[in-house]
Amino acid sequence: MLKIEFRIAEKLNLDRLLSESGLPFSLEKESTANGRVRYFDTFDWRLFAKQLALAKNGRKWELHNLSQNEVIAAETLTGSPKFSEDFPDGDLRRKIAPLLEMRALQLRGDVHIETSSFRVLDSMEKTIARLSINRLLTNTESKPVYHLTMVGLRGYDEAFNQLSNAVADHPAIETSNSAFEAIMAAAGQQPGEYSGKLQLNLRQEMTALDAAREIFGQLLDIIRQNEQGTNDDLDSEFLHDFRVAIRRTRSGLSQIRGIFPPDDVEKFKNAFADLQRQTNDLRDLDVYLMDAPTYRQLLPEQLRPAIEPVFAHLQSERKKALRKVRRALNSSEYVELLNDWQKYLKYAQPEVAPNAVMPAVELAKQRIYKRYRRVIKDGKAIGTDSPDEQLHTLRIDCKKLRYLLEFFESLFPAGEVKQLIKQLKKLQDNLGKFNDLSVQIDTLYDWLNLFSKKGSGVQTVAAIGSLIGTLSERKRQMRAAFHDTFAQFSSQEIRSQFKSLFAE
């Protein structure tokens, strides 16, 4: 199917266009329609990233495949679902649930659409194409946007090409874009504009200070973009991305050394660490509550109801933790910290720190290779009887190495650093799961003491004990898998890649 879409400057007079083109075509109006359509996606555009759009027209919800221009799932329901689990079981929910995960849907566009549809006829009165002009008016703009869609019919390719060339050359044609793009533009939205991942494009000629400004500047943007969603408690990922950006900032201040004076580094590191501490409880509780279905599944069926008092307790604690985070985000100290950091990045002087004017690529090589050698040294020192703390230390080392690789990836040949990150991630997954299980088991012991003292039912205490046993076995398995995972990361092949990129 041939299809071309344009944004047009104004409502196009198609009859006049065809007449002026000299083509032997005429128009026949088919229909007019109008309605209000609301578009939804997550804050980080998870549906759009898969070329999908979720539209609501009245009570009908439709999932559109943007690349194929077709509806691939639909559901009619009342209410306003926020999460995928709020949709009833069915095809639509099955398609969006793995994409949305824990993220909430947000309104991305609220558009009133008036559509005029036409058939294009040749001199034999045969339909060669269909045209539609959409008048798009959002609830935030007073001026409408016009959009033209042309679809050719099978067997009339040459005629369609003549028609599309005539339309494309018309002065009213502004740009080629899809109806969805036109609607998002009319709604003031830029699909895909947010990502919690760094999108750096550092240049070889950059000094270390200029590269640091780019890195910390993007991290500051991510912190700011997630503060409102965290404050409004829209979904748990706002706080997650907020915390990761803070953690990367702290790690960068520690690792990209000699860029700023030491006293300034300590001041901002301490301030960001204090901010992060105020969010720890809420994040921990979010993780436990998101894992609630898993905990239930791990229990024998007859014990599953007995664990519910624990989750009710966590929900209550979460309300207190959220109030604590909101106080932090709405404090003058928080506002001053971010404003001071922004000004500091803008006005930092290169002559006051030894590595500030050093080529960024040279500093990156030094820092990455040093951190990599430390990971290998610490990993090799871990034996079967080593305490858990050694694996925890290695996990932190790996995280610091990962951050450095991500900070400076754009300074090295495309794909090579990404491949090393992929290998590192396998080791991080093992160490991360081991650490998560260790923390969860410690927390379960805390719950065991708490609910024993509260005089909770025997079955609740038994359920907690059962989870401790199950998770302890998983922790043992994860620990046993560590040595093979580390051996892969410390292989000669990966060592040679690190040496070639960062030490030669």
With contact defined as beta carbons under 8 Å apart, do 84 and 97 qualify? yes
Residue 264 neighbours by CB under 8 Å, 6+ apart: 344
Cα(434)–Cα(436) distance, integer angstroms: 6
Write out pLDDT tens, residues 408-448. Answer: 999 999 899 999 999 999 999 999 999 999 999 999 999 99
Write out pLDDT tens, residues 91-126. Answer: 999 999 999 999 999 999 998 989 999 999 999 999
Q: Residue 294 above 80 pLDDT? A: yes
> In this structure, what token pair is assigned to residue 266?
């300590």
Q: Residue 11 above 70 pLDDT? A: no
Cα(462)–Cα(478) distance, integer angstroms: 25
Q: Does 79 or 82 have the greater pLDDT score?
A: 82
Q: Residue 288 above 90 pLDDT? A: yes
Tell me the pairing of strands 145-152 and 60-65.
unpaired
Write out pLDDT tens, residues 20-61. Answer: 888 899 999 999 999 899 999 999 999 999 999 999 999 999
Q: Residue 324 above 80 pLDDT? A: yes
Report how far Cα 34 is from the mean position of its chain's Cα atoms. Answer: 34
Which residues are bridge partners to 35 per DSSP? Answer: 113
Q: Residue 454 above 90 pLDDT? A: no
What global pTM score does this model have?
0.88
